[in-house]
Amino acid sequence: MYTLEIKRFLRSKGAMGGLVLLLVVGCLSLLIGRQFVAKQQQAQAEIAQFQREHIARNVRYHQDEMGLLLYYLRFTLVNPNQPLNALSIGQRDVQNSIQSVTIRGLENQKYDTDLHNPMNLLMGNLDFSFVVIFLFPLLIIALTYNLLSEEKEEGTLRLVATQARSTLLFLLRKMSIRILAVFTVLLLLLGIAVLALKLPLDNTTLAFVAVAGLYLLFWFALSTWVISWQRSSGLNAVALLSFWVVLTLVFPAALNAYLINRYPVPEALNTMIQQREGYHEKWDLPKAVTMDKFYAHYPQFKKYPLPDKTFSWLWYYAMQQMGDDESQQAALELKQKLQQREQATAFFAYFSPSIHTQLAFNRLAAADLQQQLQYWEATERFHEKLRLYFYPRIFEGSEVKVEKWDSFRVEQFAAEVEVNWAEVVWPLVLISLLVGGVGLWGLERRQVLV
Amino acid sequence: MRPSPILLIAWQFWRHTLKSGVLLPLLGLFCLLLAYATFTGWKTYQVQNKLRKHYQAEVRHEWEESPDKHPHRMAHYGYLVFRLKHPLSAFDYGLESYTGNAVFLEAHRQNTVNFSEASFSTGLLRFGDISMAMLLQVVLPLMLFFLGFNSITSEREQGTLKILFSQGVGWKELLWGKTLGLLAIAGLFFLPVVLTLLFLTALAAAEQSQNWLRLGSILGFYGAFIALLSLVAVLVSAYSSSSKTALVRLIGLWLLWAIVLPRSTQALGNYWHPSPSKVEFEARVEQDLIKEGDSHNPDDPHYKAIKDSLLTHYKVDSVQQLPFNYSGFIMSEGERISSEIYNRHWHKLMQVYTQQNRLAETSALLNPFMALKNLSMGLAGTDFHAYVDFQQQVETFRYQLAQRMNRLQMRYISNQRLGPQDKPYQISRKYWREMPDWQYQYLNLGQVIQQQVLSILALLFWLLALWALLFYSSKKLRVI
């Protein structure tokens, strides 16, 4: 019986066509992901060379004044792409993966974005996560919506009922063949991904595979539930497609609109204004105003008194510092707002497998908002470290030549990707068990009507 | 043409659909989503614009109230520009969520436009925005296909087709009648949209000119799109042997047009025409800058030549004797050169982006959904052209600001070097006020229509082709 069913499935042109098409689109998505990561990695590699030349040239131009030299010098902290990023581009195309900062005020440097074509962002990436979240469910719907109704509509169910021990078993058999076929394609694609993208076979990759597999199982469960209604093929198709539209288009978009309105971020614009005023107004105020605040922030620099000159680099960098210090509150509020958005999204994700899957993919690929916030914080530490290193040298007026400029290499930020298996897996397992269970129970209870 | 059978068939379809029990849930759901999209869209527009206007006014106030100072300090104090949303962006978000909203303008440096909604997104934005336009472009077509897939097949399956034909109804009447009937049903969905838009436009009438014209165009093009959808649904139904086949075909078309083609054409365009990253872009600009003259390099040959020719021309021995401020002159020259180079590279970048977009744009000939999408964004002032135009206006404003400050420096700042204890040179704050405030000019309707010619033609082409197909089909189709 099993082999017969498999033969029947393999012979259907539509099913095979769908599987092959998905395989092709899947490979295309891997190519796109690979190109994306390669482009970013290339830029990250080039910046090292660029920084070396940039520092050497400026050191040549401004040999006499440490303060002036540091006005120009940029130092880079790179956020390297994780291998999984090629499967889920996530937020990484919007975010900047290279922060090149001077030791002047950080607040008007750290939010600078990368260059991107907004039309690409609008249409969305055709990455592997899109293939899994949007396209695989469509194939599952196409393969399963008429599993029972077709037999009924073609009048073959009566025949089946006489041969099979139970129609439920018969249905499960048909379903399992389709699950097998879909998973073959999924695993084939993931296998290609592992080989072509040199993904490490670690915990993170495993979690990624698990999430993808469970997400597809959810769709099989949903389909089983719809089949258990025992309605016509047409109605099944309409119902399943409606679920698809709601789960992958309408609900996430509506939730996004809600979050944007619930947690707007005027703090972003406010930070910008505060930073600019905090620094520039100091030029027109008595120097003591700036210096008192600066010495209060860094008592260790009290030993450098303000020189009796109209302009001094000590005063200049103290003013720059004020831009950051006075916009700190607004910047903190901005971060808190984003955390609130993050928490609200995580809550709603429990109820939507597609959102959960996208967020899990992004998290595992270190391509989510959390990771961006971490990168911002790492940039703050990086910047502070540079400041604390150069401030005394500028204030002392130490010689440019003495410094070993070659040692200022590009630094790397390492995102922390923790795999919390329970958090990643359970929501999908629970909702699949619930939906699939109701479906099977329905089929078992209401005898299949022949 | 005999109108009465057509109207009769349309009327019958209308009554049948109204009674079928599918319409009300769909219509209800659509109106619910519409209300939500309208509410959030309008609120976002209002809250954001209020905020941005508030901060823009603050920026202007601080600018005008700045005390006497050196003009070059003012050039670095610079200006903040916040992008205002077009009222129709509440209807079609377009690129709104993906383009930056605030930019810091200063001398010598072109900063990026930052703080896009996408950069603050938790990743949800990847699923897209929900807006009135999205509902009309994605959800409504699917609903219409659900309502129209069996318009002809059900007659065929119930055997009523033969009866109709025996009563003297032809294919032409049947197809037109069903299309008209479906169009009337679509009208039920479209009507609340029209009313909402009229109301919102009346509210925002004072804020932008040409709103009514734009609204009229939007309604016209969406009306054409809905007519097109009705034709597609009825024709597919006529060519399908069973309702199930018709449904599967229509769903397939919808997936292809609304989901798969837009994304994959854009992705391929992006794949084939890689654009430089910011690092690459800035490195190229800097390279050219070093080649053509680096005002920060004290030994740069270009600036040395300028200095020598100035000294000869004014017959003086040192720059301190020149009748204008020398460093102001050099900075103005530097600004001119650097922004020329920047603009050259920026235009190249925009060309790459345009190439990336071209495939998706051209796919409108195969995909009427794409034609409407671009057209709608253009009319709502939220498309790629509006994005490019905004950046151009911003750069022009930045350049004028920097050069105005350089002119002030050349004219009013002395050439004599100051001692370390001297008070720095300043000019009166009355000059700040002379600089005009930032004012964004939206592209006018004529420009938008010109940019969207391809989309308009594609939409017209589709309507004509379907109309022709309907005529052709009325002769070719068989009853059984």
Strand A411-412, strand A75-78: pairing: parallel
The C-alpha atoms of residue B107 and residue B395 are separated, in whole angstroms, by 11
Question: Which region among A126-140, A292-306, A375-389, B413-427 has the lowest average model confidence (pLDDT)?
Answer: B413-427
Residue where the block lists tokens 């059978």: B5
**Which residues, other chains included, contact A372 with Cβ-Cβ below 8 Å and sequence gap of 6+?**
A91, A95
| Residue B175 pLDDT | 95
| Residue A445 pLDDT | 79
The C-alpha atoms of residue A431 and residue B44 are separated, in whole angstroms, by 33
The C-alpha atoms of residue A445 and residue B12 are separated, in whole angstroms, by 41
- Chain B residue numbers touching A248 (CB-CB < 8 A): 127
Residue of B nearest to A45 (CA): B279
The continuous run of DSSP H or E covering B288 comes out as helix B278-292
Residues paired with residue B79 on neighbouring β-strands, in sequence order: B105
Inter-chain touch A113–B119, beta carbons under 8 Å: yes
State pLDDT tens for residues A366-383.
Answer: 999 999 999 999 999 999
Closest Cβ opposite residue A43 in set B114, B139, B280: B280
Phi, psi at B222, each rounded to 5°: -65, -35
Contact at 8 Å (CB) between A215 and A357? yes
- Chain B residue numbers touching A277 (CB-CB < 8 A): 62
Residue range A140-165: average pLDDT? 82
- B 58-77 residues with CB < 8 A to A: 58-59, 62, 66-67, 69, 73, 76-77
Q: Mean of the per-residue pLDDT values for chain B?
A: 92
Residue A91 is classified by DSSP as T
| Residue A153 pLDDT | 84
Residue A449 has pLDDT above 80, yes or no: no
Edge to edge, the sheet with strand A75-78 lists A98-101, A75-78, A411-412
How far does chain B reach from its first CA to its final CA, in angstroms?
A: 24
- Chain B residue numbers touching A270 (CB-CB < 8 A): 55
Contact at 8 Å (CB) between B316 and B322? yes
Residue B1 has pLDDT above 60, yes or no: no
Read off the pLDDT band of A164 (50, 70, 90): low
| Residue B424 pLDDT | 86
| Residue B295 pLDDT | 67
Inter-chain touch B120–A341, beta carbons under 8 Å: yes
Residues paired with residue B80 on neighbouring β-strands, in sequence order: B104
- Chain A residue numbers touching B47 (CB-CB < 8 A): 261, 264
In 3D space, the residue among B474, B456, B45, B408 whose CA is nearest the CA of residue B224 turns out to be: B456
Going from the C-alpha of B41 to that of each of B34, B38, B196, B364, B379, the distances in angstroms are: 10, 5, 12, 26, 16
In 3D space, the residue among A333, A408, A415 whose CA is nearest the CA of residue A379 turns out to be: A415
Percent of chain B residues past pLDDT 90, beyond the cut: 78
Residue B151 has pLDDT above 70, yes or no: yes
Read off the pLDDT band of B480 (50, 70, 90): low
| Residue B123 pLDDT | 87
Structure tokens at B99: 């383009």
Residue B260 is classified by DSSP as I
Going from the C-alpha of A115 to that of each of A40, A98, B325, the distances in angstroms are: 12, 12, 37
Inter-chain touch B243–A114, beta carbons under 8 Å: no
| Residue A158 pLDDT | 75
Contact at 8 Å (CB) between B68 and B426? yes
Question: Which region among A163-172, B121-130, B268-277, B376-385 has the lowest average model confidence (pLDDT)?
Answer: A163-172
Closest Cβ opposite residue B129 in set A112, A253, A308: A253
Residue B265 has pLDDT above 80, yes or no: yes
The shortest C-alpha distance from A369 to chain B (Å) reads: 5
State pLDDT tens for residues B64-89.
Answer: 999 999 999 999 999 999 999 999 99
Residue where the block lists tokens 């903190």: A332
- Chain B residue numbers touching A253 (CB-CB < 8 A): 127-130, 134
Q: Which 3 state secondary structure label does DSSP give B139?
A: helix
| Residue B79 pLDDT | 96
Structure tokens at B467: 């109309």
Read off the pLDDT band of A208 (50, 70, 90): very high
The shortest C-alpha distance from A423 to chain B (Å) reads: 17
State pLDDT tens for residues A234-284.
Answer: 899 999 999 999 999 999 999 999 999 999 898 999 999 999 999 999 999
Residue A77 is classified by DSSP as E
Residue B294 has pLDDT above 80, yes or no: no
| Residue B3 pLDDT | 56
Question: Which region among A31-45, A436-450, B246-260, B316-330 has the lowest average model confidence (pLDDT)?
Answer: A436-450
Residue range A398-406: average pLDDT? 92
Read off the pLDDT band of A203 (50, 70, 90): very high
The shortest C-alpha distance from A265 to chain B (Å) reads: 9
In 3D space, the residue among B140, B187, B141 whose CA is nearest the CA of residue B30 turns out to be: B140
The C-alpha atoms of residue A288 and residue B364 are separated, in whole angstroms, by 65
Residue range B454-480: average pLDDT? 91
The shortest C-alpha distance from A371 to chain B (Å) reads: 10
In 3D space, the residue among A130, A123, A122, A135 whose CA is nearest the CA of residue A89 turns out to be: A130
Rounded to a whole number of angstroms, the CA Rg of chain A reads 29
Residue range B257-267: average pLDDT? 94
The C-alpha atoms of residue A132 and residue A125 are separated, in whole angstroms, by 13
- B 395-424 residues with CB < 8 A to A: 418, 420-424
Going from the C-alpha of B288 to that of each of A53, B16, B278, B294, B333, the distances in angstroms are: 15, 71, 16, 9, 15
Domain ranges of chain B: 3-476
- Chain B residue numbers touching A37 (CB-CB < 8 A): none
Rounded to a whole number of angstroms, the CA Rg of chain B reads 30
**Which residues, other chains included, contact B8 with Cβ-Cβ below 8 Å and sequence gap of 6+?**
B177
Residue of B nearest to A268 (CA): B115
Residue of A nearest to B67 (CA): A284
| Residue A448 pLDDT | 57
Residue of A nearest to B65 (CA): A281
Inter-chain touch A32–B263, beta carbons under 8 Å: no
* Number of H-type helices and E-type strands within chain A: 19, 3
The C-alpha atoms of residue B475 and residue B155 are separated, in whole angstroms, by 18
| Residue A103 pLDDT | 96
Closest Cβ opposite residue A118 in set B99, B128, B247: B99
Buried b (16+ CB within 10 A) or exposed e, B258-279: bbbbbbbbbbbbbbebebbbbb
State pLDDT tens for residues B191-215.
Answer: 999 999 999 988 887 777 788 899 9
Angle of CA points B32, B254, A134, to nearest 5°: 80
In 3D space, the residue among A316, B428, A404 whose CA is nearest the CA of residue A304 turns out to be: A316
How far does chain A reach from its first CA to its final CA, in angstroms?
A: 20
- B 237-266 residues with CB < 8 A to A: 243-244, 247-248, 251, 255, 259-260, 262-264, 266
State pLDDT tens for residues A94-135.
Answer: 888 999 999 999 998 999 888 999 999 999 999 999 999 999
Residue of A nearest to B100 (CA): A113
B176: amino acid identity, one letter: W
In 3D space, the residue among A388, A201, A193 whose CA is nearest the CA of residue A297 turns out to be: A388
Strand B109-110, strand B102-106: pairing: antiparallel
State pLDDT tens for residues B16-33.
Answer: 999 988 899 999 999 999
Residue range B110-129: average pLDDT? 90
Q: Where are the alpha helices (DSSP H) in B158-210?
A: 160-166, 171-204
The C-alpha atoms of residue B397 and residue B393 are separated, in whole angstroms, by 6
| Residue A44 pLDDT | 92
- Chain A residue numbers touching B274 (CB-CB < 8 A): 35, 39
State pLDDT tens for residues B299-309.
Answer: 788 888 888 89
Count CB pairs under 8 A between chains A and B.
Answer: 252
| Residue B296 pLDDT | 66
Contact at 8 Å (CB) between A296 and A320? no
Structure tokens at A432: 């699949």
- Residue B51: is it exposed, middle or buried by C-beta count within 10 angstroms (0-12/13-18/19+)? middle
Buried b (16+ CB within 10 A) or exposed e, B76-110: bbbbbbbbbbbbbbbbbbbbbbbbbbbbbbbbbeb
- Chain B residue numbers touching A91 (CB-CB < 8 A): 118-119, 121, 123
The C-alpha atoms of residue B267 and residue A31 are separated, in whole angstroms, by 11
Residue range A302-330: average pLDDT? 94
Residue range B397-412: average pLDDT? 96
* B33 alpha carbon, distance to own chain's centre: 23
- Chain A residue numbers touching B432 (CB-CB < 8 A): none
Residue range A166-195: average pLDDT? 93
* A259 alpha carbon, distance to own chain's centre: 17
Residue range B175-193: average pLDDT? 96
Stronger pLDDT, A442 or B132, i.e. the higher one: B132
| Residue A447 pLDDT | 63
Inter-chain touch B279–A46, beta carbons under 8 Å: yes
Closest Cβ opposite residue B127 in set A253, A280, A342: A253
Inter-chain touch A126–B264, beta carbons under 8 Å: yes
Contact at 8 Å (CB) between A413 and A196? no
The C-alpha atoms of residue B32 and residue A251 are separated, in whole angstroms, by 13
State pLDDT tens for residues B316-359.
Answer: 988 888 999 999 999 999 999 999 999 999 999 999 999 999 99
Cα torsion at B125, B126, B132, B134 (round to 10°)? Answer: 170
The shortest C-alpha distance from B95 to chain A (Å) reads: 6
Residues B386, B392, B398, B401, CA torsion sign: negative
CB count, 10 Å around CB of B463? Answer: 16
Closest Cβ opposite residue B114 in set A32, A113, A354: A113
Residue range B178-184: average pLDDT? 97
Please provide the size of chain B in residues: 480
Going from the C-alpha of A435 to that of each of A57, A145, A212, the distances in angstroms are: 65, 15, 18
